Structure 1
Amino acid sequence: MQSFLKKTVYAGLTLFALGSLAAVNTTTANAKKHVTTKRVAKKVKKGKHTKKQTKVTVTYYKVHFAENAAYAKSNGVVSIMNKPGKLGNAKVVANKTTMRRLAKSKLPENVFHVYGMAKTNTGLYYAHVVTLGGKYRGWIYVGKNDFQYNLDNITKNTGISATKTLRYGANPSNVNVKILDKLWTYPKFSRYNARVVSHKKASYINDDFVVESAVYNTRGWLYYYVQDAKKKSVNGWIYSGSTTARNAKKDTKKTSKKNPAKTSTDNKQTQSNPTTTKPTPSTYNLVFKYNGNFVSTKIVNLSDLSVNGTPVVTPDSIAKFIPSNYQITTDANAINTDGPIVNGGTAIINLNAVPATRLTIAIKQKDTGSLLTPSSDLVTTLNEAGQDLLNQKLVLNGQSINADAVKSILTNRNLLSIDQSKLSTSGAGSLQFVGVDTTAVDASNPTVTLYYK
């Protein structure tokens, strides 16, 4: 039964793709016809009746992005309005001249946070944006693609393009520091919700801290994430220029007075058991992350990274080490090295999950777990919903499906409620959508299971 649905869905997706192509051709033809009609209309004598334009209406949507994937840069070609531009009486908030200036700016406060989406009944999409500095807020045209779950879906060369506010940097040679200013939850102007930490500055300003990671903002300023050496609840981000290195050796001497002197046996043990964190000669560390979260670390030989006798870290040289179901991001922050590619060095590689290119949709009854067989017309609608999921890259190999994204698509396809006559169930009335299986998607057989009750 499931096999039947799988085959039907695949066939339906193919037909849907062909249907889309036909629709594009038809639209193009109609567009040409419209231009011709418009020219003729100019010659019509005054007083002749012309067709009324369709009234523009707008539907508003919430957006769902990863915390580090909700930001965009101006492309400098479209103005920001106080409402979606096709609505009547829309006013300019930031004109094209201002948007061109913002496009060239490297100031972090001029990056946009995207926090809403609007779609007109004519198929145009607008993004609700605000600069991280808070100066400009409004709606901007972004093309004809749904970007509710992924800013990369925004049509190219429209109002904005997805960007990253931070890129990885190298830790200082001495990670033991004193701080001279207050801590932040994120580097200032790197997140819409960046703020000073809740702890009072006076309670930690004289403490010793350890640098755990480092990032650069869009302006190239280096920030450190620091952890209080004694108070585990005190940590945050600080500009590197507001830190000073502290002498860790002095701290060691102070504590060594309280400890018994080491014997010759202790020294021998220390020499014969080096710490595991010390890098092995001729190796290099590849640290893979997805959405800022750790995925895995690969320790490779420098010779494995060699190109024409020189070790390099490029998408090609590390391709064979990338974890399955992932691919390197295409932005400028994809690969971040801590300096020359030498023994013991480290590179942080940012990954994206690989989107599924095919899909099986299964419907199950929530209470019994029984697989339900849809009617032929329902299969067609499910095919369209499946194509929506694939087009918006919402089914990612090795990742859990986003239940809210699925529900949104089912809503658009009127699939939240299904009459039992269209399913292999007995009884009158309808079954209601109650959830989706959030098990990680199997790349060998990508399946989205919908539960109805």
Structure 2
Amino acid sequence: MTVSKTNLIKMFVTASFMFGGLIAVGQTQTFAKSNKITSNVSMAKVNSDDRNVTLTGKHQIYTKAQSLKGAKPVTTKRQLQKLAKSVRSKDTFYAYRMATTNNQRVYYKIVSFEGKYRGWIYGGKIKNYFNGGIRHTDTTTDVSLSEDVKNTTYHLKSTGTSGDVNTWKAIPWTQYKAGLKTKDSTPYANDKLKVTAAKQMTRQYFQTYYYVEDADHPEFNGWINKNAVEGPEKVITNTVNVPGPKETVTQTVTVPGPTKTVTVPAENKLTINYLTYRFDPSGKYTKATTGNDADWTEETSTVSSGIQKDYQRQFAKAIDQIKDKKELTSADLDSLGNGQVFIRLDDEWGEYQVSIRVNYDK
């Protein structure tokens, strides 16, 4: 059979294409066969703090080492980027197995603190050194204890079965599966607690936890939110003049410290107590003057002054209506804000929630 020049060219091109395809397939099969796991070990001997990691977003999480046949992504690209940018404590990951391949690639099996994502991710070419798709992260930072905190004997503000009023083996959401030390703090309601260490969370709520020791019941020793404990109370009383019976308003702020009794004349006095807390939308409030900062006295004075002005402005009408009354009723006290809450925003010191308590001593 005679083959034209044109057909000969077509046949050559087709044959070349098929031959090239066979070469490509052969190389792929060879690559798949050449990538094998040479070791797969537990990381249990590595300190737990050293195995906390966050995602870089550069490499996907897979059901098995990415270079192995059949590896499938666990997260979408969008989920991966969201996790990499997240500041949620629950989106921190924990590395618990390490595998290496014959081409010197290292993979780590990781799981999110929340337990939602789990799989293998590329981690560089050096064992026990996180690179590639993950990087090491510190979930807490040490907080220095002042002498006042070290020397103060604390006790629980309230007790119960909530995690907020019990001690933990590790600060919640700073370790994978951080567990409670106690499940009901009721038996320890009157125990004396000493603070021996403090740490602050580096993600999300940035809350501070104390490590407390209980000499009477060592089983209660553990980490607890600093807002769950308090020391002896000191009462600071500021008196200013505003319209009202005998024209006296007394503001009381409670802070940790040695007990101090302050006597204030109470006969025929209108008394208004402002209980001031730093505003926190989570519902866990911190007293405005609680803390170890050297400027707490200045903060107390500044915030108190602002709250008094806010109060007079918000309840001016009610104050004006009762200023000439010789006797006050419960309705009058309610009109002055008894039992109410208002928000105080201070440009320098922040936002506060203020609870009002009003009484009239005949």
TM-score (norm 1): 0.42
Per the TM alignment, residue 215 of structure 1 is displaced from its structure 2 partner at its CA by 0.5
* Counterpart residue number, 1:53: 30
Aligned partner of 2:91 in structure 1 is 110
Query: Counterpart in 1 of 2:141?
Result: 167
Identity between Structure 1 and Structure 2 (%): 27
Matches of 1:101 and 1:73, distance apart in 2:
12
Whether contact under 8 Å (2:113, 2:177) holds in the other structure is: no
Superposition pairs for residues 16-415 of structure 1, below 5 Å?
44-48=16-20, 49-50=22-23, 51=26, 52-54=29-31, 55=33, 56-58=35-37, 59-63=39-43, 64-147=45-128, 153-155=129-131, 158-171=132-145, 173-174=148-149, 175-179=152-156, 180=158, 181-198=165-182, 200-219=184-203, 220-247=206-233, 249=258
Per-residue CA deviation, residues 43-89 of structure 1 (Å, 9 max, x unaligned), is 94124531342313223122231232111111112111121112222
Match of 2:330 in 1: none
Compute the displacement of 1:188 (Å).
0.1
Q: Is the 8 A contact 2:167 2:182 kept in 1?
A: no
State the structure with more CA Rg: 2
Q: CA contact under 8 A between 1:184 and 1:197: conserved in structure 2? A: yes
CA contact (8 A) 1:80 1:95 kept: no
CA distance in 1, matches of 2:108, 2:16: 39
The residue type paired with residue 154 of structure 1 is F
* Aligned-CA RMSD value: 2.8
Letter in 1 for 2:30: Q
CA distance in 2, matches of 1:245, 1:94: 48
- Secondary structure of the residue aligned to 1:203 is helix
Q: Contact 1:199/1:234 (CA < 8 Å) preserved in 2?
A: no
- C-alpha distance in 2, partners of 1:246/1:132? 37
Aligned residues: 206
Does the 8 A contact of 1:78 with 1:96 survive in 2? no
Distance of 2:80 and 2:130 partners within structure 1: 17
- Report the AA paired with residue 130 of structure 2: I
Deviations 1:207-257 (A, max 9, x none): 232221110112221111111253234211111222233347469xxxxxx
What secondary structure does 2:83 align onto?
Answer: helix
Conserved 8 A contact 2:56-2:84:
yes
Which structure has more relative contact order (CA 8 Å, sep 6+)? It is: 1
Counterparts of 2:170 and 2:196, CA distance in 1: 14
Distance in 2 (CA, whole Å) between partners of 1:67 and 1:131 is: 14
Q: 1:144 to 1:197 in 2, by over 3 A?
A: same
- Report the residue type matching 1:226 in the other structure: V
Query: Over residues 320-375 of structure 1, what are the superposed CA-to-partner deviations in whole Å (9 max), with x where a residue is unaligned?
Result: xxxxxxxxxxxxxxxxxx979xxxxxxxxxxxxxxxxxxxxxxxxxxxxxxxxxxx
| Alpha-carbon distance in 2 for matches of 1:130, 1:104 | 17
AA matched with 2:155: K
Any gaps of 5 or more consecutive residues in structure 2?
A: 1-14, 159-164, 234-256, 261-291, 295-362
Change (3 A) 1:205 1:53: farther
Aligned to 1:31: none
| Amino acid of the structure 1 residue aligned with 2:97 | G
Measured against aligned partners, the alpha-carbon deviations of 1:150-187 in whole angstroms (never above 9, x if no partner) come to xxx233xx100111111011336444322331111111
Q: Following the alignment from structure 2 to structure 1, what is the Cα–Cα distance between the partners of residues 63 and 185?
A: 39
Tell me, yes or no, if the aligned pair for 1:107 and 1:218 is still in contact at 8 Å: no
The aligned residue for residue 238 of structure 2 is: none
SS of residue paired to 1:101: helix
Match for 1:218: what amino acid?
Answer: T
Instruction: Give the distance between the partners of 2:217 and 2:84, measured in 1 at CA.
Output: 42
Aligned 8 A contact 2:182 2:220 in 1? no
Q: Letter of the aligned partner of 2:228 in structure 1?
A: S
1:83-108, Cα deviation, whole Å (9 max, x unpaired): 11122222222233223222222222
CA contact (8 A) 2:166 2:183 kept: no
